[in-house]
Structures are given as structure tokens and as C-alpha cells.
Amino acid sequence: MILLALLLAAVDTGALAGKVTLAGLAPKLATLPVTRDMKVCGTSKPDESLEVKEGGVKNAVIWFVDLPEARDAKPAKLKLDQTACSFSPHVLAAPLGAAVDVVNSDKALHNVRAQEGDLKLMNYAMPIPGHVVPTHLKKQGIFKVSCDVHPWMRAWMLVLPTAKLAVTDENGAYRIDGVPPGKHRIKIWHERLGEKEAEIEIASDKTAKHDVEYTPR
């Protein structure tokens, strides 16, 4: 009976998919200088604040603003790594209440900090390789992630009140499954290109399409 209910619920939902693109040529961003721990970190790092491949924008976040996370949903388990003195992934989006393993994979001291204004999500000194700090995401927001030891290290963590979210891949594509039918509001965020909003209509057992175009900045 439970299995039948789950199958019926799956049929009743739809999906949203699309692509985030940049109109015109993407600006060329200078590399970020490395000033310490060069044996571990190298001598420079790419600026990941705008990555575009054939017009597709990587690391844009799309989420439904009117679909809160179910209270009985199983929390997602995610990972934020520090490797070769860069954060991986550069943009991590997670539902409120998710668990994230913060990892230091380098033979170097890191101090990972995630903060939005005065709101602090985490602040960990991580002195040894293989150091893992399990973190329960209890605060909602768009947090800038940095390392107090290595100032070029930059990332973003979006803790959102929904599990209906996605981060665009290297081609700018995204997909969100399991969306209830009806009219919904979505937000699109990119660290450099800003935010957009849209109204989407989802039909049962169908995939709605919504493409987003930004202008260079």
C-alpha cells in the first residue's frame, strides 16, 4: 500500500529543466595570485566567479521559493573539500537541515569561514590533511566561504528552505525533479550576475522548460 502511494505520488509530480546562458562575450578574468604555501597551492588560481562554456553559465543556483522542505524528508549529505588550496565545489546549494562534511585534503593549515554579513555559519581551524568536520546546516542564507589563511580561496554556500534546487553544470544546464503540479515561483542566483525571479507552471508527469539569459558584467 505504501509502495503504491509512493508510485502515485511520483506520477503526480513534474520537473523543471533548462539552461542558464550569457549573452555576448564573457569577460576575461585575471588569475588570483597565490602568496603562501606554494608547494601545496601552486603559484596562481583561476577566478571561478564566472565560468562560461559555449555560452552556458556554470554554478548558477535555481530553487523553488514556495516549496518548503518536508519535515520527514531524509537530510541530504554533502561535502565541501579543500584541495590544492581551492574549495570544491565552488558553489554548494543545500536544503536547510542538511549535513555537510567539511574536509581538508591539503598538507597545509586552513581556516574555513562561511558568513553572510554578521550571520556566521561556520568557522573551523583545520590543521591536518584528512581533517573532517561534520556540520549540520541550521542557518538559512547565502554564505560567502573563505579561508583566513589563504585569501584567494573563495566559494559560496546557499542554505535554502527547500530541497527543490539545482546548480548548473559546466554547460549551464540544470534539472529539478519531483515538483508538484501548479504555478510556482523560482529564483535564479549567480555570484557575479545577480538574481532573477520567474513564475513557472508545472504539469503532472511532464518537464517544463525555463531558460535564463544574463548579460555580461
Identify which of 158, 155, 187 has the alpha carbon closest to the alpha carbon of residue 45. Answer: 155
Q: What does DSSP say about strands 110-116 and 212-214: parallel, antiparallel, or unpaired?
A: unpaired
pLDDT in tens, 14-25: 999 999 999 988
> What is the amino acid identity at position 153?
M
Rounded CA gap, 203 and 137, in Å?
A: 32
Map out the domains of the chain with their CATH numbers.
1-24+50-67+170-217 (2.60.40.1120), 69-163 (2.60.40.420)
pLDDT in tens, 167-178: 999 999 999 999
Q: Kindly state the percentage of the chain with pLDDT values over 70.
A: 92
For residue 3, give the 3-state DSSP assignment: helix
pLDDT at residue 70, rounded to an integer: 65
User: Which residues of the chain register pLDDT less than 50?
Assistant: 1-9
Tell me the CA distances in angstroms from 86 to 18, 83, 89, 100, 107, one per residue in order: 29, 5, 9, 17, 13
> Contact, 216 vs 27, CB < 8 A?
yes
Tell me the CA distances in angstroms from 211 to 53, 60, 62, 168, 185, one per residue in order: 16, 12, 11, 11, 14
pLDDT at residue 74, rounded to an integer: 66
pTM score: 0.91
**DSSP secondary-structure letter at 1?**
-
Rounded CA gap, 31 and 44, in Å?
A: 6
pLDDT at residue 24, rounded to an integer: 87
